[in-house]
Amino acid sequence: MKKTLFSLATTLLMNLPLTAAPLQHVEPPHWWVGMREPALQLMLHGPGVADARVALAPYPGVRLVGSHRADSPNYLFVDLDIGPEARPGELALSLDGGEPLRYPLRARAPGSAQRQGFGPRDAIYLVVPDRFAKGGSGRQDGLKEGVDRANPGGRHGGDLAGLRRHLGYIAGLGFTQLWPTPLVVNDSATYSYHGYAATDFYRVDPRFGSNDDFLALAAEARALGVGVIQDIVLNHIGAGHWWMADLPAPDWLNQWPQYTETHHARVTLQDPYAAPSDRKRFTDGWFTPHMPDLNQRRPELATYLTQMTLWWIETAGLSGIRTDTYSYSDRDFLTRWSARVMQEYPRLNIVGEEWSPHPAVVAYWQRGKRNHDGYASQAPSMMDFPMNTALLAALTEEDGPHTGLTKLYEGLAHDFVYPDPANLVLFDGNHDTPRLFSLMKRDVGLTKIALAYLATTRRIPQMFYGTEVLMESPVERDDGRVRADMPGGWPGDQASAFTGAGLTAEQRAMQDWVRRLFNWRKTTGVVHDGALMQYAPLEGCYVFFRYDARRTVMVALNKGGKTATLPTARFPERLRVGDHARDVMTGQAFEVGATVSVPARSPLILEISR
């Protein structure tokens, strides 16, 4: 029977001599030959291990560079060089001359280094695993918080088996990437389900399942044409992380004389007039008392976080990384971290979360940006919070010279600040924002307009689970209710998004509409890589085209209460009388005349040919 990664690490620890103090952690649990960067740092943790003398039995292509301790007597950092001639096998590391610790070196999967990351051809489906579906893989394992489905902020029992069971549903909707919120252990007494307060970076939370369950999920998703994006947090940990009982060094965390919380003034990093103390408080202040802030300026920690990221990419066969609270980490570390990830996986994608409404602030962090202060990031993508803000305003405000649809038009016009706008991730909402349908005041037409824009503009679209069945939430922030349970994910649910049972006619119609939209997008290359031309909004209607030398798609968004009649002559660069058009959502074909009609409160997506 195949050993789990956790049991493998346990076996490694048991191979230490009985005369030595037992090790409690060896991280990373294993590594690979054939990585572009030969350096590997092992963190050994156990009573008194810091003063151990390390020896490496001869192994072709592998060299022991040295070892060093930090402040704590219970950590030892061992530096190895894994040369290009090294082959898979087991290293034999002895401490103080005792029986060796056997450390696995594995072969990389064929083509691993050249794996294709997610990009503009993809559409991402975001799930909160605890709230998606229960399948039976989770177990309590003595962790602090149990299941309480009646508590909006508690654990509801969704797990990896439930997510695996419904991978076909996600693929059937037309999505090609799956982003689960973090899956690693969050052993906190309350509010542990969300995943952003890790207490163990190398182990899947048993309440979701095992590491092997996650690897099975990723493999099954790939077989369905769906990549997996892992959510990794570099900025902070949970207060229950095992480091907190015995920090490797006092500066492992950003420490203050008294508790100091970040003020979230992210623009201090770009502001030429910002006070240095403000910059320090933004990056070094803690999120909450329960989320200690990591100091990535500590070299061993920076290496640890980088190797942890690479370990998950290689182990699970990921297609990308989503990085939480991106700018809150040390920015020089972020450059080195992102550069190392892209060095090992040149075609991978990394998307960072920079929750700012300002395009210039988000652009600062994207690879290729020439910044005023010389800072250079290596992250290929960022979450497009500015355009999300503009989209919501466009559909909820009255139109004017600077309001309503004008904000959407002007938002896209700001693409000149981005080095690669097509690689930004635009979203209808996420686990931190109110539900789209609720923000649209339960207006199905406006909801469809938002999703049509998401699917057709020059971005990578991401949709939050349940949007397709019009899930709702309070319009003020209420995380527990925003992250409500997916209908049908639990035995006994009265309605099911997965089977359609118990859904209202409106919900079923919306789900079918989303399925048609994103399956069409999946096979429509001009929406992935074509140029974009937009026309200024008039009379409650906004029009843009995606096109290349052979293909044209017209998108008209009419948020008004009556049918919009658009003169064909207004779009001379892209549309002519006599062109052939096909309505993507209805399949209706017609010849373009002097006008094009767009139904009230609706998007119109036309494939145009001559």
Q: Which residues carry out catalysis? A: 324, 353
**Distance separating alpha carbons of residues 531 and 518, to the nearest angstrom:** 19
- Helix H or strand E segment including 583: strand 580-583
How many Å apart are CA 537 and CA 240, to the nearest integer? 52
Other beta carbons within 10 angstroms of residue 484's beta carbon come to 18
3-state DSSP call for residue 245?
A: helix
CA 17 – CA 22 distance, rounded (Å): 8
Nearest to 65, CA basis, from 50, 82, 51, 48: 82
Calpha distance 95→109 (Å, rounded): 31
Exposed/middle/buried for 417, CB within 10 Å: 0-12, 13-18, 19+? Answer: middle
Residue with tokens 């092992």: 42
Phi, psi of 202 (to 5 degrees): -110, 10
d(CA 452, CA 513): 10
H helix runs in 198-324, sequence order: 211-223, 276-284, 299-316
Q: Please write down the long-range contacts of 397-403, taking CB distance under 8 Å and 24 or more positions apart.
A: 399/537, 399/540
Tokens encoding 330:
């040390």
Write out the H or E segment, with its range, that includes residue 91.
Answer: strand 89-95
3-state secondary structure of 516: helix
Rounded to the nearest 5 degrees, what angle is found at the Cα of 321, between the Cα atoms of 211 and 106? 50
Count of residues in the chain: 610
Q: What contacts 59, CB < 8 A, 6 or more positions away?
A: 86, 89, 91, 92
Q: What does the DSSP assignment read for 435-504?
A: -HHHHTTT-HHHHHHHHHHHHHSSSEEEEETTGGGT----SS--HHHHTPPPTTSSTT-S--TTT-TT--
From the list 453, 471, 456, 502, the residue with the least C-alpha distance to 132 is 471
Half-sphere exposure of 404 (CA within 13 A, CB side): 17
- 335, containing H or E segment: helix 331-344
From the number of C-beta atoms within 10 Å of its C-beta (0-12, 13-18, 19+), residue 106 rates as middle
Write the CA distances from 182 to 12, 126, 237, 473, integer angstroms: 26, 11, 12, 22
